[in-house]
Each structure stands twice: as C-alpha cells, then as structure tokens.
Structure 1
Amino acid sequence: MNYYVKADRFLLEDMETGPAYLQIINGKFGLIRDFPSDEDAKIIDWSGYTIAPGLFDTHIHGGDGVDVMDGDANSIHQLSDHIVASGVTRFLPTTLTSSIEDLENSVGAVRQAVEEGLRGAQSEGVFLEGPFFTEKYKGAQNPAYFLDPDYNIFSKLQDLSGGMIRKIALAPERAGSLEFIQQMVKEGVAVGLAHTDASSACCQKAHAYGASIYVHLFNGMKGLHHREPGVVGAGLNEKEAFTELICDGHHVHPEVVGLVENIKKDKLLLITDCMRAGGKPDGTYMLGEFEIQMEDGVARTESGSLAGSTLRLIDGVKNIHYWANIPLHESWQRASLSPAKSLGLHENLGSIEEGKAADFVVLDKDMNIKTVAINGVEIDKGEKGNVQT
C-alpha cells in the first residue's frame, strides 16, 4: 500500500519539520516532500497533528495483567495489543530470574506467539534478564536461582526461542563472565550489566570484552562514590555504552535524569521495566514468585523495594522532555532510535528515514495518541485521518 501522510509536524532524527507530506512505499518510509510527486496519490490527512516514529521498549516484563514469565503465548499476544495503544511498535519481551524450566517455557511462548503473528507491537527478540546475577543488588530477582554464566544454559534457551534472544544481562563479577560476554557478542547478542556489585574497573573490563548496556541505571547496582565510581560511574563515564533509564519519577529523581541526559545524550535509552500491573488498578500482583503491592501506581515488594514499574513508555518520553528541557524530537529518539541503536537495529527501525520500516505514531497537540501504524498499516486504536485521493 502506497500513500502519503500529511501533517503539520514530523519528528526526525535531528530536527522537526513540517507542514509536509511523508511518503509510505510498501511498508517503508519514503521521502518527505512539500507536495506529493504524484497528483493522483492517496493522501491520509493528519493536518494539525504530529507524526513521530514508533516507540521501541527493549525492557518490558508485562502489563495489562499478564507477564512474559506466564509461559503462555496468549500473554504475549495480550501484551502486544496492550502496549501498541501507547505508541510502542517494537519491543523485547523480557524474562525474570527463575528456574531454567520456567525460562524455557517463557522463551518458547514468545517464539510461539511471534510465529502465530502478533496483532499489535512486534517483538524484535527476547531480553534474558538473569539468572546470572549477584545477591547484594538483587531487586525483585530471586537469588535462589542465581548462577555463574553458563553457555550451555544459554544455548538451550536460544534454541528453544528459535534464535530470538537478542539481549542478555549479567553481573560481570561472576566467574566466567568475561568469556561469556565475548561469546555473546560473537553471536550477535547485546550484553547489559545489571543486579551487580561490581567495581568500576570490573565494568570497564566487561565493556572491553563487549558489554555495551547498563541496565536500568542506578537501580540494582553499586552506586556512584567519589572513591569508587562503581557501576553507575562506569556507565556514565563509558562514552560508547548505552544507559537505560526508567523515567517514572520513582526509580530516578528528575534532576538526576537531566544530569544523565546531559552526559549520555543519544546513548541514553528509555525503558519501562513494566510488570503485569501496568495499566491495571492498585492491588496485589505477582512478579515471578514475589507478591507485589501496587499503591498509587507504584509497585513494591513486601520489604518496600521497587519491583519494576507501571510506566508507559510515552510518559517516560514526556517526563524527560520536561525534566531535561530538551526538544521533543530528542526526547522521542531516546525511546525509539536509541533503543534500536543499542541492539544494532537502527538501519531499519527507530526513526523516520527513507527505507526504514514505516512505524509511526500520530499525536495531537497534548501528545495524546490518535493512531499508530506498523509497517505502514494503521492499527485501529483511535480516530482515522481524513483519506484524500
């Protein structure tokens, strides 16, 4: 299906432009023009609205009452449908530290759902968060299942997933981590550091071996100290490393978000780390084997520790836009292009650029989502633009 999208504003990689016409050709973005090149072209008129690239959540456990660890393909379908309504067009279903059997069931369920065909947001692989962590900064991960990195375990999970594990997190101080990181990078799997008490020097060594992401920076890791920079210091200091942030105002203070933005720029990527309570009312929920209480939208363990989030990615974009006082196209890229870059998928995803997948979101002046398109096809989530021929 070939057509043009007419809108007042387009959020591009390094600027905003418009009013203009954006060409869609066979599910890919074409050129942005002042006027259509074909006078008989089909035009979808979103005059008065903004067109932004689809969002990409590379770290999400669940939402709408379901979780990736349910080990059920129906849960993946439901999550896909749920998050596309808030502008997410691509995601990595994310596991949690658990038994090997549970992990096998979970990655198998993602594979099944993808093979059946997701109706909403499209999975770009699996994020294996654990079980190669250490206990001090365990967060809501169950330390009973923590292990040293084991390629045999990974290999079996990768086989069951159909090769879909695209990202993995570990604690680099565990035995065998460096060799494991090196092997993951050889196989095209992005490696993040998380739930770790490592020193800054240990993290730097892990980065030299190929680790490239600091998972939910400040949370589940040794903090910054002036005599030992820790994991946080390493993440901020390593120019080529990506740093995830949960911008919900609970996991990281707004002023600290602004500080990280000033340091990391396009190496900062927004995630939700959302758990099954996302989009649901306050109450009791399960995160893995832990009972979680959500009050005023904040999920905590029995001990009071934060247990994932209930954040929508678009709200993280809004928050960093205001907290860091950066242009909207920059804050938006932190949740679209930066995540794609962190996985090496930016040649086809993450921004409005000729030849990339035509994933886009239509926003009104208050940043409410009117509709979403994936590969150029509108998902029926809101009012439609006025079609002209």
Structure 2
Amino acid sequence: MTRLRAARALIGGAVVGPVVLELAGARIRTVRPARDDDVVDVDLADGMLSAGLLDLQVNGAFGVDVAAADGAVWRTLLAGLAAHGITGVQPTVITAPLPELVASLARIGRARDAFADEPVARVLGAHAEGPFLSPARAGAHHAEWLLAPTSDHIDALVSDPGAHRALRTVTLAPELPGALEAVRRLTREGVVVAVGHSDATAAQVHAAGDAGATMTTHVFNAQRPLIAREPGVPGAVLVDDRFFVGTIIDGRHLDPHVVSLVLAAAGRRAIGVSDAIVTAGLAPGEWYDFGGQPVANDDTGLGRRPDGTIAGAGVVLDEGVRRMIAAGLDPAAVLAACTENAARSLGRTDIGHVAEGALADLVWWDGTWHPSRVWIGGRALASGSR
C-alpha cells in the first residue's frame, strides 16, 4: 500500500485539503483528511492533486493520426498523452468512407486491448465524429463523404464486431432524415450520441434529447449559432439538463470568455476537450495528412488546412487547462470539466474522480499548472510533461 498526502486536492468539484490517499494496487482504497501524525510515502506539499485528465475528443497528436494508427504506433500517442497528465482518451475518427471508418474503429478496439495493462493513457472507447453530419456545418470534414443516418448506414457502422465493441460515442446532426431513429437505436446499444456539426434548431436538438442524445460535440463550433430568437444548438444544450456540453479549451476555437459562459451555464455538465489532431504537440509549419487533406499548425497552436480552415487543435489538453487558468477561469471548474464531468458523461465512476474505489489515475500539478507527476493505476510515471 502507498500513502500519499496532498496539501490540496480536487475532490467533488472543490479544492480541499490536506488529504491522505491510500493506494492499494491499482485503486484508491481510502481518501480522508490528513492528520498531524500521518506517516506517508509521498508528500505533495505544494501544487494540487487531481484525477487524471480525460480527453473525449482526440483525433491524434505527436504525429499520430488515430484514424490510421495501428500496432506499436499507439504507444507513441498514449504514452505521450500520459506524460501530459491525460490518463484516459476517447480516440476520435472524423468523416471517412464508411468501410474505412469501420476499420479505424476496429483498430481502436485492438489498441484498447493491447495497451490495457501498460502505464499509458487508457483508451475509453472510440468516437465516430461523422459521417452523419450536416453539409451546411461540415467544417473541415469532406462533404462528399457525409451520409444520412439511415438504418442501412447505421447497420454498416455497427455490424462489424470489432468496430461495434469499440464504439462509445457517435456525433450526428439530429435534423438529418432518419436521425432520431438512429439516436434511439444507438442509445439502445449503449452508445453515447452527441449533437454536433449540425444546423439544427433548438427544437430539433430538444427532440434529439427526447430520443436519447446526451452529449454535445465542440459547442459553438460548426453548428447553428445562438441568436436572439433562435437558440440554435448552443442555446439548446446549455439550458437542457440532459446534455453534457463538450467544449474546446485551447483558447482559439473559443474565446476564454465564452468558455467561462459555458462553465457558468452548464456547471457539472461542461466537458473540456482538446480536439487535438495529428499536429498536436508539434512545432508549427510541418504538413501532415488529416482526414484526406493536408494540415499544419499555425503559430497559435491551431491546426489549419491550406485555405486557413481550422481542422483542430495543435495542443494537447494540459495546455488548454493552462490557457484557461491563465485567462482567469477558476482552476477547480476547469479541472472538473476535464475529469469528473467527463467521467460522468460516459457513466463512469471508476475514472476521473479522486474517490474511494476509483482507479488511482492521478496528476500532481505544480504552481504553473504543469503535471509534475502522473500515476496510472497507482504506478508513477518517470516524469511529467517537462
């Protein structure tokens, strides 16, 4: 057993401390207030302890594109994320021809199994961001590969056993023909359905909630905007308690003031994500393939197509945490959005929480909000991201 004392820890959305955690094997056995006579193995006298970050939208990073990744290349991605305090990840595949998308999902499932016992970021399941998206809100997705969510197309998505077993989340536009029945079918099979890349009205978003949708993909980006007499997608999900609200926190997709509004409106439903792509964590200017088109980071940490279209984030999630805190947002709210809230959106209590019985996936943040030390399943990594 390992006893760990933290001067400050994020527990239940609030900063408390000092506390002592007893780690037994891969899990947290107890969490209690510290006492003067405690004898501990690890004393974190400064900074703050939290659960490991959970990033529910990662298309790639460090030169790895999850759509094409296979075999040992996954270690580059998963170990790299873990060093940045990201202990759980939902690999995200954007729109592609359906057979290619299904093959990508199956490879993600194999990676989840292959690396389950290694001290790297856990694969939480696959996220299919497309192809059931609105042509009017396609963003960086190939418009010619978009499909309506018909029963035949849903069959093709879930008929492959490997892909079906890996699939955890599907983003779709609820205004498309057949979308509501697709929502009902996917949720019956235990898939989280997210509203995104959508030109839906607020009424259509609420109808998706009636059908079982519970998530939002990158609120305010690639969706009908909120205006005075039509709440659009953002207005609908911010007031509808059935929806968790995925929010890119790189400081570029959304102004930090807008992120602050999301945190205030959605509270425990706000989810911080990176939307990281293949260029995340790399220097600007080098071109990579992403979704069948070239992409490179600009000087601000955005991945852009040659025509300037934003393709995703060129930073990973811990950098987003730092950017939000530097902009004046409450550290507890930012970290909770990337840990506890994210776990709840997937129905998980064993990750994302500093709590008895949870997996001992932990991050000790220094005074500049860099991860000084990371534990996965109670095993300490050699170092953090610096």
Give the TM-score normalised by structure 2.
0.92
Q: Name the CA distance, whole Å, in 2 between partners of 1:274 and 1:325.
A: 21
Contact 1:317 1:334 (C-alpha < 8 Å) held by counterparts: no
Instruction: Give yes or no for the alignment of 1:330 onto 2:328.
Output: no
Shift of 1:26: 2.5
Deviations for 1:78-97, whole angstroms, at most 9, x for unmatched residues? 21011111100001111110
Distance 1:382 1:214, change over 3 A: closer
**Counterparts of 2:339 and 2:52 in 1: how far apart (Å)?**
6
For residues 99-150 of structure 1, give each alpha carbon's deviation from its aligned partner in whole angstroms, at most 9, with x where no partner exists: 1232132122212222222531010111111111121110111111111113
Matched, 1:313 2:307: no
> Does the CA-based 8 Å contact 1:171-1:196 persist in structure 2?
yes
Deviations 1:239-259 (A, max 9, x none): 231111111221111221122
Aligned pair 1:101/2:99, yes or no? Answer: yes
Asked whether the equivalents of residues 71 and 107 of structure 1 are also in contact (C-alpha less than 8 Å), the reply is no
Alignment partner, residue 294 of structure 2: 291
1:7 aligns with 2:6: yes
Structure 2 distance, partners of 1:21, 1:92, is 30
Match in the other structure for 1:137: 137
Provide, for residues 190-217 of structure 1, a one-character-per-residue CA deviation record: whole Å limited to 9, x for no partner.
Answer: 1001111111111111111111111101
Shift of 1:315: 2.4
User: Does the 8 Å contact 2:68/2:104 carry over to 1?
Assistant: yes
Shift in Å, 1:285 = 1.9
Q: How far did residue 42 of structure 1 move? A: 6.2
Distance 2:303 2:193 in 1: 27
Find the counterpart in structure 2 of residue 34 from structure 1. 34
CA distance in 1, matches of 2:232, 2:320: 26
Q: Structure 2: which 5+ residue stretches go unaligned?
A: none
**1:143 aligned partner, one-letter code:** A
Cα RMSD after superposing both structures: 1.9
Shift, 1:223, TM fit: 0.6
**Equivalent position SS for 1:11:** strand
Report if aligned partners of 1:333, 1:351 keep a CA contact under 8 Å in 2.
no
Separation in structure 1 between the aligned mates of residue 78 and residue 328 of structure 2, nearest angstrom: 30
Determine the structure 1 residue equivalent to 2:177: 175
Question: Aligned partners of 2:313 and 2:97: how far apart in 1?
Answer: 23
AA matched with 2:246: E
Tell me which amino acid in the other structure corresponds to 1:26.
G
Task: Report the identity percentage.
Answer: 28
Stretch deviating more after TM superposition (302-311 or 273-282): 302-311
- TM alignment of 1:228-243, pairs within 5 A: 228-243=230-245
Larger displacement relative to structure 2 (46-55 or 128-137): 46-55
Shift of 1:162: 5.7
> What does residue 122 of structure 1 align with?
122
- Which residue identity lines up with residue 313 of structure 1 in the other structure? L
Q: 1:165 corresponds to which letter in structure 2?
A: L
SS in structure 2 at match of 1:83: helix
Q: Give the Cα separation in 1 of the matches to 2:69 and 2:42.
A: 40
Could you tell me how far apart the structure 2 residues matched to 1:255 and 1:368 are?
A: 22
Provide closer, same or farther for how the CA distance between residues 229 and 48 of structure 1 changes in structure 2, counting only shifts above 3 A: closer
Structure 1 gap ranges (5+): 384-389
User: What whole-Å deviation, never above 9, does each CA across 1:361-384 have from its counterpart, x for those lacking one?
Assistant: 11222222122111111122249x
Alignment TM-score, normalising by the size of structure 1:
0.92
Q: Contact 1:318–1:331 (CA<8 Å) still a contact in 2?
A: no
Please list, as runs of the form range in 1=range in 2, the aligned pairs for 1:31-110 lying within 5 A after superposition: 31-35=31-35, 43-110=41-108
Alpha-carbon deviation of 1:324?
5.6
AA aligned to 1:78 is T
Question: What are the superposed Cα offsets for residues 339-374 of structure 1, whole Å, 9 maximum, x if unpaired?
Answer: 1111111x2111101111111011222222122111
SS at match of 1:6: strand
